[in-house]
Amino acid sequence: MQEHELYMKRCLDLAALGAGKVSPNPMVGCVIVHNNQIIGEGWHQEYGKAHAEVNAINQVLENYPAEADKLLKNSTIYVSLEPCAHKGKTPPCADLIIRHDIPKAVVACRDPFKAVNGRGIDRLTNAGVSVIEGVLEEEALHLNRRFFTRVKKQRPYIILKWAETADGFFAPDNQKQQWISGKQAQQLVHRWRAEEDAILIGKNTAFIDDPRLNTRLWPGKNSKRIVLDRNLELPKSLNIFDNSIETIILNEKDTTIEGSTKYIALESFDFYLAESICYQLFLFDIQSVIIEGGAKTLNLFLEAGIWDEARIFVSNSKWGQGLYAPTIKQSAEEKIVLGNDVLSIYYHL
């Protein structure tokens, strides 16, 4: 089993390279082993492109052109997620494994997507492939927690993010912008933005901070910007209206499109607002959202119990007054020191 875990750990490391690039597909890594030696590996690199198994098998074919068929017929294929059994944007990976006569497959976890969910494994076993399941399953489920949340709960994976002072303040009480976290934390936030599908803020944050909500401090894609503006009161001079990034304004007045800005009218801002937001974003194929503020918006999701992860920076500075930060009544799973800040990570129990 230790040998299986070693190669599955490599699959998970490879899969993570697809972060921010494959949504709404899951991140998947694949390793092909012959006589305790990796002869091919790959990962799902971009949505709509070749899956991990395809890339790994192609690497074997390219690196061992004369003996690839023989090698594959005596190898074990490791995959961090059940191989697909349906034709989507690419052919079924289970059929590819069968076609190359790979005799053994080790799978971390099943794919809950209804077009797969056990069918890939069934197809392999019915073709005579020996399948081992559940190797590093917990780690695989955690890696693709966004995908599993979307499939099982039919909503995006919700990440709450904020910074607070050592004495628990979130923002000044004079409606002026004031930084709390340091440079390392700010760069990390831009990396997170590149890994998720969307960033969501409320009207007051958009107006007071005038954020660009891009990834200028990290070499990655810009996520969609989501803004709550019930009565469409935000001035068009703000950075969120610069047409540089697809932006969705959730409101109660109008549904229209202006350049890269989409205005979507929700049925009501008074009842089940967090649920309505999640359902609308699910319809847009948005798999994960970072909610960056303000306090009213963060508390909206906390009070509704609709959140999956919270990332909170606590600085060593003290203000003595201001608007109090939201609170989470559970212990942090992880704490990381970043300069003068401490990052606490929570997973919703």
Residues tagged in the binding site annotation for Zn(2+) = 51, 84, 93
- Tracing tokens 């390279």 back to the chain, one arrives at 17
Tell which residue, 95, 88, 152, 141, has the closest CA to residue 122: 95
Is 5 annotated in the active site? no
Considering the candidates 3, 41, 46, 53, report the single residue annotated as catalytic: 53
Domain boundary among 149, 178, 201: 149
Checking if the pLDDT of 7 tops 90, the result is yes
Average pLDDT of span 95-105? 97
Q: Tell me how far apart the alpha carbons of residues 206 and 293 are, in angstroms, rounded to a whole number.
A: 9
pLDDT at 1: 61
Average pLDDT of span 301-321? 97
Q: How many domains does the chain have?
A: 2
Residues tagged in the binding site annotation for substrate = 193, 213, 216, 292
Q: What is the pTM of this model?
A: 0.94
Structure confidence by residue, pLDDT tens digits, 153-169? 999 999 999 999 999 99
SS3 state at 36: coil
SS3 state at 188: helix
Tell me, what CATH number does 32's domain have? 3.40.140.10
* Rg, Å, the chain Cα set: 23
Domain boundary among 102, 133, 149: 149
Residues 138 and 169 grouped into a single domain: no
Residues 131 and 172 grouped into a single domain: no
